[in-house]
């Protein structure tokens, strides 16, 4: 078994913390005793999550209402990430949306909003985190990517390309920060039961049940991988197996399989 890194003392900031994987990250980090900053757009849900975590785990919880698909929203959260008095030692870039429409069918503004959130916010918040964490000599950045980043997609073209960026960016940062005390991990889940697909109005009725993962298990496995130094984490044996196939098959065969 790989040795786990010691727990970090500072705050953990989770984007998209009110639902799905983000809520699972927030609960797990609170259970570890970490003080938390929760970020999302909907104040009432943030307050209710914060109250739950304070009651159950006796940790400090701050909430930040921010739309991370906007420059203003990113700036507010980046300022908190870089704030030295109450240092953020764990940044979980989790907030993200999907768009289940062929490229060209949805308004360009929707494609742009997806990139601004799924890629732009990861860029801006990581930039703030790297400077502050490097200066302290400790920290972890956890970027929630997706197995979609490893396969081309016809119906979610921009989403898949954005996640490929998140995974590659995380690998590059991990290389850059090796030896500084700052770890970087991209967690790449497969289909996970959350609000994600309903929000994207995706019809998932044809997705076989074995392909669905549980958010708590994805987060538990992803964080354990991150703490043992993994740069890319693919939770669950079934998706590890699928990705192995994607890596060994010729790309033309992968495209053929995905198009079916
Ligand atoms: N579910 C899957 O099958 C799956 C698979 C692989 C990867 N992922 C990735 O996992 C991450 C989390 O997805 P999820 O499935 O947990 O989604 P989810 O259940 O829909 O939750 C999304 C969270 O993000 C927040 N959010 C949405 N838009 C935002 C914005 N513009 N600014 C700030 N916060 C925003 C939401 O709160 P508000 O609406 O209140 O802002 C909510 O807290 C995403 O990056 C997604 O791409 C998901």
Residue 28: which CATH number? Answer: 3.40.50.720
Please indicate whether residue 45, judged by its CB atom, sits closer than 6 Å to ligand 1: yes
Task: Give the Å distances, CA to CA, from 167 to 27, 78, 184, 188.
Answer: 24, 20, 10, 8
158 lines ligand 1 (CB under 6 A): no
In a domain, 37, yes or no: yes
Q: Is residue 221 part of a domain?
A: yes
Asked if 213 contacts 236 with a C-beta cutoff of 8 angstroms, the reply is yes
Domain membership of residue 32 (yes or no) is: yes
In this prediction, residue 2 carries a pLDDT of 67
* Catalytic annotation, pick one of 57, 100, 127, 159: 159
pLDDT at 1: 54
For ligand 1, the distance from its centroid to the CA atom of residue 197, given in whole angstroms, is 10
Residue at 30 is within a domain: yes
Residue 210, in any domain of the structure: yes
Residue 2 counted as domain residue: no
Expressed in angstroms and rounded, the spacing between residue 196 Cα and the centre of ligand 1 is 6
**Number of domains forming the structure of the chain:** 1
Residue 4 lies in a domain: no
Say how many Å lie between the CA of residue 131 and the centre of ligand 1: 26
Q: Which residue's CA is the closest to the ligand 1 atom numbered 2?
A: 192
239 is catalytic: no
**Residue with CA nearest ligand 1 atom 8:** 146
Check if the beta carbon of residue 78 is closer than 8 Å to that of residue 15: no
The stretches of the chain forming alpha helices (DSSP H) are: 20-31, 43-57, 71-82, 108-115, 121-136, 157-177, 196-199, 215-227, 237-248, 251-259
Residue of the nearest CA to atom 15 in ligand 1? Answer: 196
Q: Is residue 29 situated within a structural domain? A: yes
Report pLDDT for 121.
98
Confidence (pLDDT) at 3: 76
Select from 192, 198, 180, 197 the least CA-distant residue to 236.
Answer: 192
Domain of residue 87, residue span = 11-259
Q: Which is the closest atom of ligand 1 to the Cα of 23?
A: 43
- pLDDT tens-place values along the chain, 260 residues long: 567 777 898 999 999 999 999 999 999 999 999 999 999 999 999 999 999 999 999 999 999 999 999 999 999 999 999 999 999 999 999 999 999 988 999 999 999 999 999 999 999 999 999 999 999 999 999 999 999 999 987 789 999 999 999 999 999 999 999 999 999 999 999 999 999 999 999 999 989 999 999 999 999 999 999 999 999 999 999 999 999 999 999 999 999 988 87
């Amino acid at each position: 078994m790989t040795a786990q890194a010691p727990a970090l003392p500072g705050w953990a900031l989770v984007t998209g913390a009110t639902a799905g994987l983000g809520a699972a990250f927030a609960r797990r980090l609170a259970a570890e005793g970490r003080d938390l900053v929760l970020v999302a757009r909907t104040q009432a849900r943030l307050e209710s999550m914060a109250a739950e975590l304070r009651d159950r785990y006796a940790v400090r919880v701050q909430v930040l209402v921010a739309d991370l698909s906007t420059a203003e929203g990113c700036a507010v959260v980046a300022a908190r990430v870089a704030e030295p008095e109450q240092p953020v030692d764990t940044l979980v870039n989790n907030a993200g949306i999907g768009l289940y429409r062929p490229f060209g069918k949805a308004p360009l503004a929707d494609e742009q909003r997806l990139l601004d959130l799924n890629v732009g916010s990861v860029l801006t918040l990581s930039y703030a985190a790297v400077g502050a964490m490097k200066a302290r000599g400790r920290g972890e950045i956890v970027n929630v990517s997706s197995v979609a980043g490893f396969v081309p997609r016809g119906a979610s073209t921009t989403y898949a390309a954005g996640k490929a960026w998140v995974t590659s960016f995380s690998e590059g940062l991990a290389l850059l920060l090796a030896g500084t005390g700052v770890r970087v991990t991209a967690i790449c889940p497969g289909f996970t039961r959350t609000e994600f697909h309903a929000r994207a109005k995706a019809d998932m009725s044809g997705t076989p049940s074995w392909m669905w993962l549980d958010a708590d298990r994805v987060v538990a496995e992803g964080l354990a991988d991150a703490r043992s130094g993994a740069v890319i984490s693919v939770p669950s044996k079934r998706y590890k197996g699928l990705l192995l196939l994607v890596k060994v098959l010729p790309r033309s065969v992968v495209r053929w399989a995905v198009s079916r």
